[in-house]
Amino acid sequence: MKKPTQHTLDALAREVEQLRAALSARETQIEALAKEALSKQKEIERLTEQLEKLHRRLFGRSSEKFHPGQQALFDLDGDAPREEPAPADLAPDDEEALEPKASKRKTRRPRKMKTRDLPRERIVHDVPKSERICDHCGESKQQIGEAITEELDYVPASFLVREHVRPKYACKGCGDGVVIADLPPRLIEGGQPGPGLLAQIVTAKYCDHLPLYRQEAIYRRSGVELSRQTMCDWIRVAAEHLLAIVLAMRRDLLTRAVLLSDDTHVLVQTNAESKGCHRAYLWVWLSAEDDLVLYDFELTRGQSVVDAFLEEFQGDVIVVDGYPGYNPCASHGVKRAGCMAHARRYVHEGMKSYPKEASELLVWIQMLYLVEKRAKDFDPAQRLALRQEESKPVLEKLRAAVERMKPTVLPTSSLGEALTYLENQWANLIVFADDGRVPIDNNASERAMRPVALGRKNWLFAGSTEGGKRAATLYSLVETCKRLDIPPFEYLRDVLGRISTHPHRLIHELTPAGWKAAREKARAETAPATN
């Protein structure tokens, strides 16, 4: 065999080097493609999770409840809360999984109607006189009792024309000196609406969410023609008179120690000549006692709104979500408390991708809420003592779980975002544990926004900036009445009949709280004395 020359060996060596370089390039390319494939896979998982989240929000159940037995997955028996959630706290899906199909249907007793305070009409159905004679002895039968069967009926709302008659007097001799009594003060000079009609229109729109065009059709069926424009003008006048009451409520609210706040968008037609609408905002400020709620209409959601409010605020804590618009709290010396319900909501979104980790976090948060349930009727000092004893250790466990999971959870996943929220908001989320006055979440202010959201679906937009401000005024009164168990119509009818002559220095007497206190005092004074 012929020995290869040096030239041949060099050529083969160069070829081997080329092949090695090509192989290395291929390996680098394969590695890059693998990384890209992994990145694409993570992106697919993230988008799939977002799609499922959107699908759940649109078509799924809104409940965030989970089975309390999940705490057994994490060996938390030593840290278990004293009170287990009742079966009623389970989500509907969990109940179906636990109960056999045969036991799903439960026989429900008919609910007894609460009719004690309703007006009553007594209709007597007596037997004929001939049947009141005894067949055995011929004597007249005596009534020994009666059987009463209740029937709930409905009488449609009706209109009434109230005639204010003012006799005229003059001298018969000379026909001079005609005298006539003055008209009682009226809210709308020269207008026809009485306080009851104004109260009905306001209540229907801002309590029952009936826009004016629907009210127009309803009243037409009763034989009364009231145009939308006329009713809109009446609402404007009513709101202008009632604004003084809302300002008095605002002065009271600004002195409260702890407030809750939230906002929601509304569309407003800022230019009467343009058919387009712009996004504006209704902000809510709610007392921690949930007895006073105030709405502000603003064209912006910026920090300037919060900054202007805090200039007048005399309290020391505001409970809010993680929105950066509340950052001015620090510069005004107001402590910012976070919302544990928001954190729980974000964690619940991560159940699909990280069920075990999310469930563990939900168990710790559930323990915090079980403590709050027991402390519901406590005074602030008692609530603080209970939180210090039971909630603080749970918060430490929750914090440790967040730090342990953070490195192992994909940051862009739903649970990763929840962990980031918990980490960034932690200082605000734990404020409630050191202050018995502060609620654990901001749910009360979110509930105060539901009527606005319901109304927005019906009346769609505010016709002007001034219309938005009027809506804020009337929502403040209606929603505060509901919190104080005051029928909004009854309150508005009485106040609208008195506001034009009521002394301004006593305007606090016409706030919902002042009005209720006066009614209760008058009722107590007129009540018969008991031995």
- pTM of the predicted protein model: 0.72
- 95: pLDDT strictly greater than 50: no
Residues 212 and 230 sit within 8 Å (Cβ to Cβ): no
CB atoms within 10 A of CB 231: 22
Look-up of token digits 């009527």:
451
Structural domain spans, the chain:
260-481
Please write the tens of the pLDDT for every residue from 178-232: 788 877 777 776 667 888 889 999 999 988 888 888 889 988 888 888 888 888 8
Is there a contact between 382 and 375 (Cβ–Cβ < 8 Å)?
A: yes
- Which pLDDT belongs to residue 81? 46
Residue given tokens 């209540």 in the structure block: 203
pLDDT higher at 243 or 2: 243
What confidence score (pLDDT) does residue 57 get?
65
DSSP string, 124-183: --PPPGGGGB-TTT-PBPPP------------------------EE--TTT----EEPPP
Chain CA centroid to CA 515, Å: 24
**pLDDT for 31:** 86
Give the pLDDT score at 93. 40
Least confident of 125-129, 173-177, 441-445, 446-450: 173-177
Residue 97 has pLDDT above 70, yes or no: no
Per-residue pLDDT tens for 253-303?
999 999 999 888 888 776 655 566 777 888 899 998 888 999 988 888 888
pLDDT interval class at 397 (50, 70, 90): very high
What confidence score (pLDDT) does residue 293 get? 93
Q: State percent of the chain over pLDDT 70.
A: 82
Q: What is the pLDDT of residue 244?
A: 92
What is the reported pLDDT for 40? 81
**Is there a contact between 515 and 486 (Cβ–Cβ < 8 Å)?**
yes
> Tell me: the pLDDT tens digits for 137-183?
878 888 888 888 877 766 667 777 777 788 887 777 776 777 888 77
Q: What angle do CA 375, 381, 382 make, to 5 degrees?
A: 35
Residue 398 tokens, joined: 């929750």
Q: What is the pLDDT of residue 99?
A: 41
Per-residue confidence (pLDDT) for residue 255, from 0 to 100: 92
**Strand 461-462 versus strand 258-268 pairing type:** parallel
Confidence at residue 108, expressed as pLDDT on a 0 to 100 scale: 61
* Phi, psi (deg, nearest 5) at residue 268: -135, 140
Name the residue with tokens 């209704």: 282
Residues 6+ apart with CB under 8 A from 442: 260, 261, 262, 319, 320, 321, 339, 341, 342
pLDDT of res. 96: 38
Summarize pLDDT for 455-506 with one digit per residue, the tens: 776 666 666 778 888 889 999 999 999 999 999 999 999 999 888 888 888 8
Distance CA 3, CA 225 (A): 117
Relative to beta strand 258-268, strand 168-169 is unpaired
Longest dimension (CA), the chain: 161
Q: Could you give phi then psi for residue 271, rounded to 5 degrees?
A: -125, 120
Whether the per-residue pLDDT at 66 is higher than 60: the answer is no
* Other residues' Cβ atoms within 10 Å of the Cβ of residue 431: 16
C-beta separation of 358 from 344 below 8 A = no
Which run of H or E residues covers position 233?
Answer: helix 228-253
CA distance 193 to 215: 15
Residue 333, phi-psi category: left (phi > 0), alpha (psi -120 to 50), beta (remainder): left
Would the pLDDT of 317 be above 60? yes
Predicted local confidence at residue 514, as pLDDT: 92
Q: Which long-range contacts (CB under 8 A, 24 or more apart) does 2-8 make?
A: none
pLDDT (0 to 100) of residue 242: 93
What pLDDT, in 10s, does the model give residues 11-21?
888 888 888 88
What whole-number percentage of the chain has pLDDT above 90?
Answer: 26
Q: What is the mean pLDDT of the chain?
A: 81
pLDDT of residue 298: 85
User: Residue 276 and residue 269: Cα distance in Å, rounded?
Assistant: 6
> Do 349 and 414 meet the contact criterion of CB atoms below 8 Å apart?
yes
pLDDT tens, 410-422?
888 888 889 999 9
Please give the pLDDT value at position 101. Answer: 45
Q: How far is CA 201 from CA 245, 304, 521, in A?
A: 19, 34, 29
Mean pLDDT is highest, among 4-8, 59-63, 99-103, 143-147, for 143-147
Q: Which of 105-109, 170-174, 448-452: highest mean pLDDT?
A: 448-452
Structural element, H or E, at residue 218: helix 212-221
Going from the C-alpha of 143 to that of each of 126, 127, 128, 129, 139, the distances in angstroms are: 11, 11, 13, 12, 13
- Site of tokens 């343009």: 274
What pLDDT, on a 0 to 100 scale, did the predictor assign at position 473? 92
